[in-house]
Amino acid sequence: MCALHGMYRFADRTVSIDSVYDMVHAMCRDYAVDADRPDVVVRTTPVDIAFEESVSTDGIEYTDDYLETLAVYRKVAEAMPSFDTLLVHGSCVAVDGAGYLFCAPSGTGKSTHVRLLRELLGSRAHMVNDDKPLVGVFDTGAIVYGTPWDGKHHLSNNVSVRLRSICLIERALENRIRRAEAAEAYPRVLQQVYRPMNQGALARTLSLVDTLLALTDVWVLGCNMDRKAAELSFAAMSGRGAP
Amino acid sequence: MRLNANFLAHDTGNGWVLVPTGGTAFSGVVRGNKTFGEILKALSSEVDEAEIACRIRERFDAPEDVVELDVARALAELRRVGALDE
């Protein structure tokens, strides 16, 4: 079988992808670059595709080309901690040049909340990534990068933004927001970070989460799905009051 | 007993977490306090339950029965997630 090849730029790193199917290249076309010295080399095989199928837990029968896109991102995510970068499950929106990253287990309402925020703020708000952005954790601050792995609504842009706040969302009847307590922030954020299978990369990931939390405000938002929730979260996280 | 090599313990500064690497059925995060951290540290080498309790009593000023209960609960949780080699 002949591999399909492409070069892409994710989180300021050049990634070479050799795949079995074309879907991943079509998905990543906005990130294509003309380069010949990759930082990360990804090659997928039918074994990788079979692995993704084996770990899928939602009962849906996915096509092999879709499963390969997951296999590619898994390999990217395994490599990224060595570049001080994490894959975070969350929805990130940029407002006035600052990134707000909303994290929660699937189905809690991250995407809905970010949609409400974008509707509230209009042209001030720009989608970074709605599902699986990369987050660079550097001494100078954390940077969120858009990626093509952007959730069921395919909301993302090939942009980066300095991360201002992380918001952990939980459903509630009444809207409320508070700063996360120190002891709860780490495990709750870690739950939403890709944890590499490689032990060295995992150890690096755990350390990067320490640094991420030292650099970033973490909030806990209990919310229903109305516009008031977005007004509340933005007022608190931006420190500027209601928009 | 000792901690399974497929798990990593990490001090967050405000508590401890234990996370699995690949090759384990458990894929979550176990969190705990400083006592839990001391138990994890004790399990970095071969040790038995009584010895762990003894180390915890040396480290923390707590009644013997409370320490023994804490250790038993922690070990039960570690067994549940497959983090102990026995």
pLDDT digits (tens, 9 = 90+) for A134-144: 999 999 999 99
CATH of A85-238, one of 3.40.50.1820, 3.30.470.20, 3.40.640.10, 3.90.228.20: 3.90.228.20
* DSSP tally for chain B: helices H, then strands E: 3, 5
- Could you report the predicted ipTM of this complex, rounded to two decimals? 0.84
The predicted model gives A198-224 an average pLDDT of 95
What is the spatial distance between Cα B77 and Cα B32, in angstroms, rounded to a whole number?
11
Whole-structure pTM value? 0.92
Distance from CA of B12 to the nearest CA of A (A): 7
Is residue A183's pLDDT more than 90?
A: no
Q: Which pLDDT band holds residue A1 (cuts at 50, 70, 90)?
A: low
Q: Output the CA–CA distances (angstroms, integers) from residue A124 to A94, A95, A111, A117, A118, in the order listed.
A: 8, 6, 17, 10, 8
Domain ranges of chain A: 4-81, 85-238
Residue ranges of domains in chain B = 2-85
A197: closest chain B residue by CA:
B22
Q: How high is the pLDDT of residue A240?
A: 75
Could you read off the pLDDT of A29-85 as tens digits, one per residue?
Answer: 999 999 989 999 999 999 999 999 998 878 788 999 999 999 999 999 999 999 999
CB contact under 8 A, B17 and A190: yes
